[in-house]
Amino acid sequence: MHAWPASEVPALPGQGRDLRIHDTATGGLVPLVPGPVARLYVCGITPYDATHMGHAATYNAFDLVQRVWLDTKRQVHYVQNVTDVDDPLLERAQRDGVDWVALAEQETALFREDMTALRMLPPRHYIGAVEAIPGIVPLVERLRDAGAAYDLDGDVYFSVESDPHFGQVSRLDAAAMRLLSAERGGDPDRPGKKNPLDPMLWMAARDGEPSWDGASLGPGRPGWHIECVAIALDHLGMGFDIQGGGSDLAFPHHEMGASHAQVLTGEFPMAKAYVHAGMVGYDGEKMSKSRGNLVFVSALRRDGVDPAAIRLALLAHHYRSDWEWTDQVLQDAVDRLDRWRAAVSRPDGPSAEALVEEIREALSQDLDAPAALAAVDRWAARQDTGGGTDTGAPGVVSRAVDALLGVAL
């Protein structure tokens, strides 16, 4: 599966700062000092209804991570998956009377278009769950053969008790885990499971549903969590720098995935930091497909909204915060974009060296994009009052905003 084209990232004078970022597993900020190649895995879409503003906010957060690392002169090895076979996708295809493969391809293509428009830097590896199945099957077999998985009526489940570190990603108690498992694709009430929280690794073939050769597992399809584990281990290995996604993935997805990987390899932890973006709401509720309260990037683009304004609307909120999309949020972003473009269109202006360092400092401290935007606002305000005669300043600001915030002025 291919990703989308990369926009050019301008080189800036000086040196970027290393990132301190909030780690869900420890509950605090952790310093990340990768080697020459920083490693990032972000969980991708289930392509049955893309791309709403919640998606965009999540991928915007991890795009900032990439830009901070690139500014330190590191390479970034970024991997993202596509869950291109899953119950919600199959249910949507059946509801609409369309082929599930065609639906997945259509929505993935739209997602690529949206990411391109928003200037999100693409992953080096963009992998669909279906194409990863040949690598998933041996992992499930290894877990079963090691006694970390068991058969239940032809399905194969992972035993969470096989990982002594289980629970250390989300830091939730058993009652909270059980509740979230039921809400987020698990089956804690299924009879016969050794532990209600045990997740499925391999689902035996069901009538009317797609299935693949599972070798000794029999025909079927993989569970959700093992898909990302297989892709991450194949392309990044253990101990990569950031495992990222929305806050609703901390449990069960990232918790279970970490346990799968840790039992498979005998190493801990799977990732140095587990980083989670907040939820975006609309009309008083979390934006979600089940509620139908979605604002789509593609719809805004069709209505003529500049993608740079959409990106500024996302950047106006700290990535870990939960917030609500409103018409005013978008209007504020449009107005900000107009002010910034007017400011950099002049032939000279206030020196921009300090501004570049302010943006770098803000982003290095847990991706504080609102503080970075405020710094640019202050420079633009000084520009309005004729606050300088540096002929290179507008160009420096334009390049810095592009390189570090992904906004083309």
Please enumerate, by residue number, every residue annotated as part of a binding site for Zn(2+). 43, 228, 253
**Reduced to 3 states, what is the DSSP secondary structure of residue 40?**
strand
What's the CA gap between 400 and 380, in Å, rounded? 14
Q: Which of 53-69 are b and which e, b meaning 16 or more Cβ less than 10 Å from the residue's Cβ? A: bbbbbbbbbbbbbbbbb
Would you say the C-alpha torsion 225, 230, 236, 238 has a positive or negative sign?
positive
CB neighbours of residue 290 within 10 Å: 8
Question: Looking at 86-206, which runs of residues are DSSP E strands?
Answer: 125-128, 149-152, 155-158, 200-204
CB of 282 closer than 8 Å to CB of 324: yes
Residues in binding site for L-cysteinyl-5'-AMP: 43-46, 58, 81-83, 224, 246-248, 280
Q: Tell me how far the alpha carbon of residue 186 is from its chain's centroid.
A: 21
Q: CB count, 10 Å around CB of 354? A: 11
Using only C-alpha atoms, the chain has a radius of gyration, in whole angstroms, of: 22
Q: Which residues are annotated as a binding site?
A: 43-46, 58, 81-83, 224, 228, 246-248, 253, 280
